[in-house]
Structure 1
Amino acid sequence: MTDAFELQIREEVVRAARTLARHGLVTAFGHVSARIGDHVVVTPPVAPAAVTMDGLVTVDPAADRLPADAAPETWAHVAIYRARPDVGAVARAQPESAFAAAAVCAELTPLHGQAAWLGRRVPVHPVARLLRTAELATAAAGTLGGADAVLLRGNGALTTGASPGLAVARMWLLDAACRVRLAIAGHAARTLDDDEIAAWQAAGPALLERLWRHLASTT
């Protein structure tokens, strides 16, 4: 029997997937997952806008195989959960801005305050391959390291959070950060310094939750 907490998390996974779609961060591809105890629930290989509660797939992150009904890139989620016990949820999307930024940057650093909620840096994974094996996914999780987001060259992005909603809020912020970076191409950029980043991050938890509520309620 699914308890109330698990039901709440499953509902948020569905809502998060549909929110990615509503804001144009995914099309037919993309997924959201969340850790629930010793297992993970992840959206199936369907368009995120069409995800339902009944379609969610349960995955054992310690297993050496994915369930037959899981998307192959579920390995990316599994690899992050294995490497990062602090991560509660993962979002996978393909904003066009992420393709462009990953093609010209080795990493993103905050150019505006809200970008600090992505961490002090967003690394770029250099291998432009679908993360359809444990090995490829583990390499991408290694590039993510302790960061909150990673750009995948030629392949979109992954963001993390304590909850599915916060992972999606970070994906929206990552899209914005990429667009800002591209907008100043050819100009000297003044990045936020450590004290400025720390000040924005201190205010981040409540404001990131507020952003998620806004994104989820916006049609």
Structure 2
Amino acid sequence: MTTDPRDELALAARVLAHHGLVTAFGHVSVRDGDRVLVTMPIAPARMTAGAVVDVDLAADVLPTGAAPETWAHLAVYRARPDVAAVARAQPEAAFAAAAVSTELAPLHGQAAWLGRRVPVHEPARLLRDPDLAAAAARTLGDADAVLLRGNGALTVGSSPGVAVARMWLLEAACRVRLATAGHTPRPLDDDEVDAWRAAGPPLLERLWHHLASP
């Protein structure tokens, strides 16, 4: 049985809220051919399948009901054909890590599932127009996450659940980074990163099912 993508989005938004990765703000989207389904600007904890907006991937004007930061989702999809879903959240540790870092190197294995490095995007602005959003997508590059200085983070995935799992992992990676302040941490080397990333896809799905469990 195929799951309705609107139900997937609503669940993903509620899971972000359940794990404290968002408060009143945050959204999740999924690519659907040449369309994008994105959650409306309401508290993620209250999200339902009916609170999802359908947006043309090539849109130059957002439809009624779409959050202004839908531009960020569109920019990522336009730049990254491999991305099927995007999560937008504001973990507290992400604010702190972005304030003291220009990028995060993976310090533990699961952090490698965020990319070889997690870049920090400047400036600290809301991504509420196409140009600002496109700049953030360029900073993301080929990574699976980007910290937005003063503005939370974006994560991507093969599904809304995987994007949310990566947001949870990003918050953990930020806490690890902050815990090593004043020390000289040893990032994973290229071979270690390769090994962890190769093992990642089924383990990310497993993490998602854990996070979504009642």
Q: Give the TM-score, by structure 2 length.
A: 0.98
Give secondary structure in 1 for the equivalent of 2:54. Answer: strand
Q: Which residue of 2 aligns with 1:173?
A: 169
Give secondary structure in 1 for the equivalent of 2:4. Answer: helix
Q: After TM superposition, give the deviation of residue 38 of structure 1 in Å.
A: 1.1
Does residue 35 of structure 2 align to residue 35 of structure 1? no
CA distance in 2, matches of 1:174, 1:49: 20
Q: Which residue of 1 aligns with 2:112?
A: 116
Give secondary structure in 2 for the equivalent of 1:177. Answer: helix
Q: After TM superposition, give the deviation of residue 11 of structure 1 in Å.
A: 1.2
Q: After TM superposition, give the deviation of residue 119 of structure 1 in Å.
A: 0.9
Q: What one-letter code is carried by the residue in structure 1 that aligns with 2:131?
A: E
Q: 1:71 aligns with which of 48, 67, 72?
A: 67
Give secondary structure in 1 for the equivalent of 2:181. Answer: coil
How do 1:45-194 residues align onto structure 2 when only pairs under 5 Å count?
45-194=41-190
Q: After TM superposition, give the deviation of residue 9 of structure 1 in Å.
A: 1.7
Q: After TM superposition, give the deviation of residue 126 of structure 1 in Å.
A: 1.4
Query: For structure 1, which runs of at least 5 residues remain unmatched after alignment?
Result: none
CA distance in 2, matches of 1:9, 1:67: 19
CA distance in 2, matches of 1:16, 1:55: 13
Give secondary structure in 1 for the equivalent of 2:125. Answer: coil
Q: Give the TM-score, by structure 1 length.
A: 0.96
Give secondary structure in 2 for the equivalent of 1:138. Answer: helix
Q: What one-letter code is carried by the residue in structure 2 that aligns with 1:62?
A: A
Give secondary structure in 2 for the equivalent of 1:188. Answer: coil
CA distance in 2, matches of 1:57, 1:9: 12
CA distance in 2, matches of 1:54, 1:30: 17
Give secondary structure in 2 for the equivalent of 1:58. Answer: strand
Q: 1:202 aligns with which of 191, 198, 203?
A: 198
Q: After TM superposition, give the deviation of residue 191 of structure 1 in Å.
A: 0.4
Q: What one-letter code is carried by the residue in structure 1 that aligns with 2:145?
A: A
Query: For structure 2, which runs of at least 5 residues remain unmatched after alignment?
Result: none
Aligned residues: 214
Q: CA RMSD in A?
A: 0.9
Note the alpha carbon deviations across 1:50-70, whole angstroms, 9 max, x for none. 111111000001010001210
